[in-house]
Amino acid sequence: MEKTLIILKPDALQRRLLGKIISRFEEKGFQIAGLKMIQISDSLARKHYAAHEGKDFYEPLIKFITAAPVIVMVLKGKNVIEIARKMMGATFGSEAEPGSIRGDYAVSNRFNLIHGSDTPASAEKEIGIFFKKEELFEYNPTDLQWIYDMSTGDIV
């Protein structure tokens, strides 16, 4: 089971889409291992988006992500990174397929509602930026046997 960081950005909060977006991940069967609302500071935003420093969209991105509170959450599940990114849709709302989060709710190429880690390494790094170890929870959901085929003893 892998983990990923999801950020519901200021536009998701301002447009009151938090519940709709979170419910998609829950309905898919992913476990929420951590969840909180925070106001991302300028320094935290710069740390998180350091890979984009110097690009033309960097400063507008920092201004956007710090403009209002966000929800940060850690999802846990088999192939959660790949599946969550498919659920989010293409980065630009104007290019995202209907049925994806961005395809259903985003039009802008800058205001795209959601961030999700793109690799296990980035997920581990990003989770460490936003969560302390004691803010993440390990528990056994009672419905795992109905989400995954566990007939062989392993999650399939």
Which residues have a catalytic role annotated?
Answer: 115
Q: Return the ∠ at Cα 72 (arms to 22 and 106), rounded to 5°.
A: 55
> 3-state class of 39 per DSSP?
coil
- Expressed in percent and rounded to 5, the helix, strand and coil fractions of the chain are 45, 20, 40
Q: Which of 122, 121, 32, 118 is nearest to 72 (CA)?
A: 32
Of 92, 62, 70, 66, which Cα lies nearest the Cα of 8?
70
Helix (H, G, I), strand (E, B) or coil at 53: coil
